[in-house]
């Protein structure tokens, strides 16, 4: 029976458990598939939404938001939590415009604050603390972002980090690329820091959820 428990079968099954969602999210998923644009996908999106609801989050900062797919799940949670703000950050003006167009068609768009620039620098400049920080920047920048994240996240807050299995590259000991090393070093640093309680959920490309004591 073990041969039935494959990665692809598990991921497909997880997606079947995601409740019905707004049509615009399906449109965003279709855009990602057509353009080979990496998004967290519906199972991880639902997980982010659930964590934000459990925490009754009011303030969320995204480090790297793409065209707003993860933002959409967070803003849904904030709307149901009674309000708040989710900070959307990208370098690219076209991505920011695309995010604005998509999110305007979803419930809770008024809760999004858009930023254009380097994500970690924007986090340093934006008044906190935050209930949730979501980290999806370039992987070679993960380790350097951790002290800033730690300073900006409230005690009892949650850090969510995407791509922590890094498409399996972390298991290839010959892969010493900066991005793969960035994922390894970040994982080592946060799991060895006693100020964090850390778990890695192996859905999609792996998401670390870390509770700040």
**pLDDT the model gives residue 80:** 97
Q: Residue 115 to residues 79, 87, 93, 110, 125: CA-CA distances in angstroms?
A: 20, 7, 10, 14, 11
The pTM assigned to this predicted structure is 0.95
How many Cβ atoms are within 10 Å of 174's Cβ, its own excluded? 6
Rounded distance, CA 170 to CA 23, Å?
Answer: 35
CATH of 2-212, one of 3.40.50.300, 3.40.50.150, 3.90.700.10, 3.90.1570.10: 3.40.50.150
**pLDDT the model gives residue 1:** 54
pLDDT tens, position by position, for the chain (213 residues)?
567 888 889 999 999 999 999 999 999 999 999 999 999 999 999 999 999 999 999 999 999 999 999 999 999 999 999 999 999 999 999 999 999 999 999 989 999 999 999 999 999 999 999 999 999 998 999 999 999 999 999 999 999 999 999 998 999 999 999 999 999 999 999 999 999 999 999 999 999 999 999
């Amino acid at each position: 029976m073990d041969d039935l428990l494959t990665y692809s079968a598990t991921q497909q099954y997880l997606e079947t458990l995601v409740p019905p969602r707004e049509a615009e999210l399906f449109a965003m998923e279709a855009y990602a598939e057509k353009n080979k644009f990496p998004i967290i996908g519906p199972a991880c999106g639902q997980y982010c939404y659930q964590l934000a609801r459990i925490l009754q989050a009011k303030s969320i900062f995204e480090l790297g938001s793409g065209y707003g797919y993860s933002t959409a799940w967070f803003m849904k949670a904030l709307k149901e939590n009674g309000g708040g703000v989710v900070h959307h950050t990208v370098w690219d003006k076209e991505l920011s415009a695309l995010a604005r167009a998509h999110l305007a068609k979803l419930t809770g768009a008024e809760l999004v604050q858009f930023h254009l620039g380097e994500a970690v620098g924007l986090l340093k400049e934006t008044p906190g603390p935050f209930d949730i920080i979501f980290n999806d920047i370039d992987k070679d920048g993960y380790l350097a972002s951790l002290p800033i994240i730690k300073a900006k996240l409230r005690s009892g807050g949650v850090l969510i980090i995407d791509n922590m299995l890094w498409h399996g590259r972390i298991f290839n000991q010959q892969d010493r690329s900066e991005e793969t090393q960035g994922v390894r070093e970040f994982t080592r640093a946060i799991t060895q820091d006693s100020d964090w309680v850390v778990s890695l959920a192996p859905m999609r490309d792996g998401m670390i959820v870390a509770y700040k004591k």
